[in-house]
């Protein structure tokens, strides 16, 4: 075989090794890399001018006459029959080709060896518009995907996504799926898809199994995931289910406002009943218009655990929002007012909230403070306070009591300064009061009025909720209790505003809300610091509590209620994507396969071969 044919066979064999599957073309990302082929020129010149000793046998009897060959033909033979030259030429060609960054376009099976399943475990997956439920159908689809996958990851999509298994064995994943159930929280598919993307990495595949009753732009998230060369499949479960549900719940004293929404196209006659300790205490009914809401006002609910239930003879595919839970600690809070006058605007506003009973104490008489929930100190001369009174008030607050100081009396404020959220100065100013922060107390309150006030400096940890040039209303928590500084003059026009009673209603609600709160929504997280928790006959100790199910929780000595109350999650017919026909089959896709590393390895092997050849020949 001629040396030219040998050279051709070597190139063809190397090309086959570089890409074992069929590719449509072999382009290059950097064609300037082929300038490296110019290195062949000095190599060829060196071989042409290099003297090469040649052993010639001459017979003793006669000289052999040989036919002269052309000089050019002799030089070509000289190069082609030199293996070292061929190796060096091939090395230069491969180096140039690697500098050109070659790649091939090939077909590969898409992601079946690295699959992540995003499984929706939110509340709406409990809907029964498909039997036995949306979640059961989702589990069926997920198991089918797992059985056809290599390494599999499963992400549970609730309010806070969680990893059930990461790149695990299919058999183990199937067993874990049998232990999973739906939660009572809203869903968060976008964050779950982000988590899946970080796990499968490049060339993986994500399958999202959900009813797609979801917040967030999941179609945009799909594009972002696709940009990382990851396939995304949507497997939708559920039809257009029917539902009437409780979507909001508010309590003022013993009165509860229940917002119910009809998601159907027809009128729904709804009966709402209240159970206290499993006994029915109230029952009301109302016709609710299609695609609209209605607010039920439930007055004088008894103390303790109250369960509000929807009764309906018509089809309802989502039972989770048919119940709401509310715990009423006490009907009214006891307020002790330390005062000189018989009446004040603040006392009238507090009584209007229907949350409190008021007992007035005219100094120097002060009853036992521990018999009251809230102590209100108005403008009183310090000369009227019995000895030790200020220490008793400070002790009351630090042990868990609530204090409101509504005064512009500098001496009085100085004596209570240790427990107040501000340090007051003996300087009177006049200015316009504005909202300093928007929170649960101030969001519905109108300010913008003039008042005289003492200048004050807020303390670290306090919250100023209204101000002029300095704080005029500040709140904080001190010890186990709470204290409020109210520095607005009695002569201001604040009491004339319609939102004035609302302000004091919010103040009472804030004072009497415990550190862990009275009610929560599913999906919320609270930090407890190692507290015993009881729920559904289960007891455990935890630093952080995630509310995943509705109902009553006992946290330490406090009982709180947890509800879904999510209008979007209850709208089970409102899917963000249309019905999909999903089938988890092998899919092929074109991928760009970089060949640079393969060429570099080939160059290294050829260099090693060249060194071995030189050693065998005796040149080194």
Low-confidence ranges of the chain (pLDDT < 70): 1-40, 42-82, 106-112, 253, 331, 514-517, 579-592, 619
pLDDT of residue 52: 56
pLDDT at 605 (0 to 100): 83
Residue pLDDT, tens place only, 206-261: 999 999 987 778 889 989 988 888 889 899 998 888 999 999 998 876 788 999 99
CA angle 353, 355, 358 (to 5 degrees): 95
Radius of gyration of the chain (CA): 41
Q: What is the pLDDT of residue 500?
A: 94
Q: Answer yes or no: are the C-beta atoms of 445 and 494 closer than 8 Å.
A: no
**What is the Cα–Cα distance from 338 to 393, expressed in whole angstroms?**
11
Residue 580 has what pLDDT? 66
Q: What is the DSSP letter of 124?
A: G
- What SS3 state is found at 391? helix
Beta bridge partners of 481: 478
Torsions phi, psi for 398 (to 5 deg)? -65, -20
**CA-CA distance, 44 to 446, in Å (whole number)?**
92
pLDDT score for 517: 64
pTM recorded for the entire structure: 0.64
Q: Report how far residue 324's alpha carbon sits from residue 261's, in angstroms, rounded to the nearest whole number.
A: 13
Alpha-carbon span 152 to 115, nearest angstrom: 5
Neighbours of 433 (CB within 10 A): 22
What pLDDT is stored for residue 160 in this prediction?
Answer: 94
> In whole angstroms, how far apart are CA 532 and each of 135, 518, 526, 539, 554?
31, 17, 13, 7, 8
Taking alpha carbons only, the member of 512, 525, 520 closest to residue 553 is: 520
Tokens in use for 457?
């400096």
**Dihedrals φ, ψ of 169, to 5°?**
-75, 140
Q: Which DSSP category does 399 fall into?
A: T
**8 Å CB contact between 196 and 153:** yes
Q: Quick one: which of 482, 455, 480 has its CA closest to 469?
A: 455
Neighbours of 375 (CB within 10 A): 24
Question: Cβ–Cβ contacts within 10 Å for residue 427, how many?
Answer: 11
Q: What is the pLDDT of residue 358?
A: 94
What domains appear along the chain, each with residue ranges and CATH number? Answer: 3-54+69-105+598-617 (no CATH), 111-241+573-586 (3.40.50.410), 333-512 (3.40.50.880), 519-559 (no CATH)
Question: Residue 337 burial by CB count (10 A; 0-12/13-18/19+): exposed, middle or buried?
Answer: buried
> Is 103 in a helix, a strand, or coil?
strand
Question: Which helix or strand (DSSP H or E) is residue 134 part of?
Answer: helix 134-147
Indicate the Cα dihedral angle 576, 580, 583, 589, nearest 10°. Answer: -70
- Rounded to whole angstroms, how far apart are CA atoms 19 and 453? 84
SS3 277: coil
Task: Give the DSSP H/E element, type plus range, for residue 570.
Answer: helix 567-570
């Amino acid at each position: 075989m001629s040396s030219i044919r040998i050279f051709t066979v070597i190139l063809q064999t190397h090309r086959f090794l570089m890409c074992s599957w069929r590719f449509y073309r072999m382009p290059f990302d950097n064609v300037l890399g082929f300038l490296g082929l110019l290195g062949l020129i000095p190599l060829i010149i060196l071989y042409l001018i290099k003297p090469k000793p040649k052993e010639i046998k001459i017979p003793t009897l006669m000289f052999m006459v040989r036919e002269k060959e052309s000089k050019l033909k002799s030089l070509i033979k000289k190069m082609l029959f030199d293996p070292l030259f061929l190796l060096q030429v091939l090395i230069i060609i491969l180096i140039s080709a690697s500098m050109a960054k070659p790649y091939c376009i090939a077909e590969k099976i898409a992601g079946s060896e690295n699959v992540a399943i995003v499984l929706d475990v939110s509340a709406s997956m409990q809907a029964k518009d498909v039997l036995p439920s949306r979640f059961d159908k989702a589990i069926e689809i997920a198991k089918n995907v797992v059985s056809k996958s290599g390494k599999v990851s499963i992400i549970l999509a609730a309010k806070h996504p969680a990893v059930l298994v990461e790149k695990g064995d299919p058999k183990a994943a199937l067993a874990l799926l049998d232990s999973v159930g739906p939660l009572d929280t809203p869903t968060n598919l976008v964050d779950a898809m982000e988590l899946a993307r970080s796990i499968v990495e490049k060339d993986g595949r994500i399958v999202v199994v959900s009813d797609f009753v979801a917040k967030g732009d999941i179609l945009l998230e799909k594009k972002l995931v696709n940009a990382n060369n990851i396939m995304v499949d949507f497997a939708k479960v559920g039809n257009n289910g029917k539902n009437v549900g409780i979507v909001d719940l508010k309590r003022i004293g013993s009165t509860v406002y229940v917002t119910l929404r009809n998601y159907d196209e027809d009128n729904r006659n709804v009966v709402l009943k209240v159970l206290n300790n499993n006994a029915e205490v109230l029952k009301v009914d109302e016709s609710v218009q299609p695609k609209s809401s209605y607010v039920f006002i439930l007055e004088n609910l008894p103390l303790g655990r109250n369960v509000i239930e929807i009764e309906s003879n018509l089809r309802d595919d989502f039972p989770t929002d048919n119940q709401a839970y509310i715990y009423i600690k006490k009907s009214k809070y006891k307020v002790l007012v330390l005062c000189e006058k018989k009446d004040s605007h603040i006392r009238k506003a507090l009584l209007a909230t229907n949350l409190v009973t008021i007992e007035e104490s005219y100094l120097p008489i002060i009853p036992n403070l521990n018999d009251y929930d809230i102590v209100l100190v108005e403008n009183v001369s310090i000369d009227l306070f019995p000895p030790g009174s200020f220490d008793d008030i400070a002790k009351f607050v630090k042990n868990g009591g609530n204090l409101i100081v509504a005064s512009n009396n500098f001496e009085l404020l100085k004596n209570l300064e240790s427990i107040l959220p501000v340090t007051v100065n003996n300087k009177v100013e006049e200015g316009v009061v504005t909202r300093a922060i928007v929170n649960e107390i101030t969001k519905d309150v109108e300010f913008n009025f003039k008042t005289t006030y003492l200048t004050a400096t807020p303390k670290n940890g306090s919250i100023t909720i209204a101000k002029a040039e300095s704080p005029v209303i500040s709140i904080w928590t001190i010890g186990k209790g709470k204290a409020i500084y109210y520095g607005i003059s009695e002569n201001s026009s604040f009491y004339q505003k319609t939102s004035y009673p609302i302000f004091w209603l919010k103040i009472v609600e804030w004072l009497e809300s415990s550190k862990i709160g009275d009610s929560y929504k599913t999906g919320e997280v609270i930090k407890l610091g190692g507290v015993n928790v009881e729920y559904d006959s289960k007891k455990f100790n935890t630093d952080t509590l995630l509310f995943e199910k509705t109902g009553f929780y006992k946290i330490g000595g406090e009982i709180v209620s947890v509800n879904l109350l999510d209008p979007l999650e209850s709208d089970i017919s409102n899917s963000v994507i249309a019905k999909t026909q999903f089938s988890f089959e092998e899919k092929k896709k074109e991928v760009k396969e970089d060949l640079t590393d393969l060429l570099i390895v080939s160059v290294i092997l050829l260099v090693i071969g060249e060194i071995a050849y030189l050693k065998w020949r005796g040149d080194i």
